[in-house]
Amino acid sequence: MAKSSSRKDLRNQQPPSSAGPSSIGGALLGAVVIVLASALLGIIVNQLSPRGIPLLPRSGSASEQTPALALPPGVARVDAEGALAAFHAQSALFLDARPQEEYAEAHIPGAINVPPHSFEERFLDLMDQMDEGSALIVYCSGVECSDSIALAERFLEVGCSDIGVFEDGWRAWVAAGGAVAEGLEP
């Protein structure tokens, strides 16, 4: 009985033509309430959460351009100019955190491809290629990717200290006229 009555109710839904101004206004009001209430809830949860991020990026320390893009403590930010200088001076080992296919298409000459998920299996191999205390510069596609930071964190965990993240990454390198190598070999 209840089943048939609820079916009937469903079939008697209003057709689109009956959506008058009041129902449109009500829908808009409801939408505004959903947006404001859920945004407020999100802000409160973020403030209480250990994973929370600052609401206003630049209100903190002056060195933090955008704490959403905050780097782990001990990791330096490297811009395209700094990356080019390190490349020409051969003062740092470049690590490419992008997927292997993108690395094979083009990468910074000498850079080793280490997607973060392959860190464990590549670790011993990497240690062989790194001089003790050598500086590392990690990069991925661009500022929107997090793989370079994830990889930098892995190196921090195993005790490496001189690590820089080239945040603007591969696209900035190309735009700055940096040298390019192709294939799977560094």
Partner 1 sequence: MRAGRLLRVLGHPVVGALCRLVLAGIFIYTSLPKLMHPGEFARLVYGYRILHPDMVNLAGITLPWIELAAAAFLVIGIIPRSSALVLAGLLGLFIGAGFLALARGLDIECGCFFPFMSDHKLTWGLLVRDAVLILFALQIMAWPSGFLPVRRARRQPSAS
Residues of the shown chain interacting with partner 1 in the complex, contacts defined by CB under 8 A: 6-7, 9-11, 13-16, 19, 23, 26-31, 33-35, 37-39, 41-43, 45-46, 51-58, 65-70, 99, 101-102, 116-117, 141-147, 150, 171
Phi, psi of 107 (to 5 degrees): -155, 175
Task: Select 40 or 85, whichever has its Cβ closest to partner 1.
Answer: 40
Task: Select 4 or 13, whichever has its Cβ closest to partner 1.
Answer: 13
E-strand stretches of 53-182: 75-78, 92-96, 112-113, 135-139, 163-166
The helix (run of H) or strand (run of E) holding residue 46 is helix 21-48
Q: In the complex, what is the shortest distance from the CB of residue 166 to partner 1, in angstroms, rounded to a whole number?
A: 15
Q: From residue 6, how far is each of 15, 16, 18, 19 by CA, in Å?
A: 17, 20, 21, 22
**CA angle in degrees (0–180, nearest 5) for 166-171-176:** 85
Task: Select 18 or 90, whichever has its Cβ closest to partner 1.
Answer: 18
Q: In the complex, what is the shortest distance from the CB of residue 35 to partner 1, in angstroms, rounded to a whole number?
A: 5
- The span from the CA of 77 to the CA of 169, in Å, is 11
C-alpha 45: how far from chain center: 21
Task: Select 37 or 181, whichever has its Cβ closest to partner 1.
Answer: 37
Q: In the complex, what is the shortest distance from the CB of residue 132 to partner 1, in angstroms, rounded to a whole number?
A: 30
Q: In the complex, what is the shortest distance from the CB of residue 12 to partner 1, in angstroms, rounded to a whole number?
A: 10
